[in-house]
């Protein structure tokens, strides 16, 4: 098992530098729906959050990443990654 595994929840397992896509249905971040980004870390508070860096859409955090629950993002398909 790799040391860079940062989250696991059902089928959602993410590693540093994975390319992911924001799923629709998140009312607080509708402008990020469908955007892709790179996993840069994880944060634990009352639950697990995956930190995603999205190009040209920086959050107010020092690392500029956005926090997402693991079930709010998915791995980018090969077709979408090639198109980006």
Residue 68 reports pLDDT greater than 90: yes
Domain boundaries, the chain: 5-83
Q: Per residue in 19-65, pLDDT tens?
A: 999 998 877 678 899 999 999 998 888 888 999 999 988 998 999 99
Interval 23-35: pLDDT, tens: 988 776 788 999 9
- CA 75, 80, 81, 84 torsion: positive or negative? negative
Domain at 5-83, CATH class? mainly beta
3, 49 in Cβ contact below 8 A? Answer: no
């Amino acid at each position: 098992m790799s040391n860079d595994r940062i989250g696991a929840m059902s089928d959602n397992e993410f590693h540093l530098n994975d390319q992911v896509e924001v799923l629709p249905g998140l009312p607080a971040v509708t402008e990020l729906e469908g955007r892709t980004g790179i996993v840069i870390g994880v944060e634990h508070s009352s639950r697990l959050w995956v930190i995603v860096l999205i190009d040209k859409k920086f959050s107010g955090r020092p690392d500029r990443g956005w926090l997402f629950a693991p079930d709010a993002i998915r791995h980018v398909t090969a077709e979408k990654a090639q198109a980006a």
